[in-house]
Structure 1
Amino acid sequence: MTITSGLPRAAPATGAKPAPTSRRRSQGAWALLFLSPWIVGLVVLTAGPLLASLYLSFTHYDLLSSPRWAGLENYTRMFTADPLWRKSAVVTLVYVAVAVPLQLAFALLLATILNRGVKALGLWRALYYLPSLFGSSVAIAILWREIFGADGLLNNLLGLIGIESTTSWIGDPTWSLGTLVLLRVWEFGSPMIIFLAGLRQIPAELYESASLDGAGTVRKFFSVTLPMLTPIILFNLILQVISAFQVFNSAFIIGGGQGGPGNSMLVYTLYLYQAAFNNFEMGYAAAMAWVLLTIIAAVTAVNFWLSRYWVHYADEQ
């Protein structure tokens, strides 16, 4: 006689679900399959050339013969025996230090005006964004030369109000870099759109509370708007600083490819281009590129470190 238990029988093993570990492995395999084009592109188009340029920075290479190992010679020359490198570094630092704050201030001003409820906001937002799309183009750089030349639009406008000027603003070392700064400020559209999005996220209750405390428009801006926008300001600051360090098209076209009068427009990337494609010193240009990468990384790290003292987040106590 067979004794059977009253407990239910176990389900057959044939319909059992796969173990969680094997399911995770399967999902990981599919993820790698879909990511493989990006991974191949990263290795072949980014990581490979990056490591190749690092190697070339320690060599003498003219594109026509094989690279010859030079050790730290390129870096030593750069820091101790190349006055043009120092000139380009100073010009670029001045450009970044002046152009980026002016650009962000102008973008924030326009974003604040648009946020006050103007009609056809979408149209104005699109129109103001256009300079960011075309500002770094060759056509705009050529137009800039025509505006600030000796017979350009600016001098003609000054003549209409009784100020006779024959100054070539791009041909005078005193003003030439200022024309590049002005072009950078004119490219305000991208940070303005980001500022506008941040302004529209500030709770109206904060302004109402400030009004009850007797705060006026200026006090509201500095006590409510600016503190709430500090994360957006940091984001825009980092993006625009990185972009400004890499300025090339406008300096190349407006300065005639030679750095302008007295090398007053010899920005870093323009001198790097001259070393690589005018002098065929690819090893030296690669070393310059790595120094620029290091400078950008250091400035970005400093901005993040300093942000703890002036950036405020809504969830902070």
Structure 2
Amino acid sequence: MSHTAHIPSHRKPRRSASKLALRAGVAGGVLGTIAVAGAAGPASAEPVTETIEMPTLGSLGTDLSSAVAASAEASQQEALDQSLEAQEAAALEKAAKEAKKAKAEAERKAEAERAEKARQEAEAKAEAERAAAEARAEAQARAARDSARTQLATTSASSDSGSGSDSGSGSSDDGGSSAGSSESTQVSSGTAASIVAFARAQVGDAYVTGGTGPNSWDCSGLVQAAYAAAGIDLPRISYQQSSMGTSVSLSNLQPGDVLYWGSRSGSYHVAIYVGGGKYVGAQNSSTGVVERSLDWDPPSGAVRIL
């Protein structure tokens, strides 16, 4: 190994011949151009000097960044505006749908209210007409009953003057009469006729427990009032009424006889036989005072009080 120190050379490297020739050519060309220009111009012309300032790289970068930022901000603002417009359009569409739905619901409710009001008015009108019809019927029935009662009072007054014939003979109303006498003849007799007429005049009245008239009755209250119209006093209770007089067969009934249901001394219902196989009685709260056939509710027995 050599101990000689390696000292680098400070000599500039020699340029190649081609590079030197190129540089000499360029320089020659430039000098030639200047010489031609000086020869062609006037001798007194002053050289024209103009300074052109070229932008620096730093200012170009700043302007470019500002332009990019402004463009990005403009794009972002445009996108935001478009988003807001889309939201407004969606909100308007939703509001329009909700308004349409609310209008339809309001119209439906209004129609339902009108229908309900019309129904209520129709029901009220029908109820008023029904009440008026019932009132007219009740007034007509009351007038008919009053007329019948007036006629009954007149008949009773005229029959009282001839009552001696009823008590003297004792044959026309008490089952001991001849078999040939008809029910029409029996009904025409004064006392029985008064009882039957009074009972029939109350048909249509209401049944009320404990009722004794003039427009509502229970069974024994009606029988007691009918006999009272003929001047005969009867007890108030049904089993007491059926214990009066004499027992008669259901096949030998006469108008005015008292029918009973249950045993004679323990009856729970009474009515008045009116002839023709029928009776009048205050039945129950559903029917009121009615005239029915014996077959509708056959009685247990009968008593004759006249």
Q: State TM-score, norm by structure 1.
A: 0.23
* Higher relative strand content: 2
More helix by share: 1
Give 1 or 2 for the bigger CA radius of gyration: 2
Q: Which has the higher contact order (CA 8 A, sep 6+)?
A: 1
TM-score (norm 2): 0.23
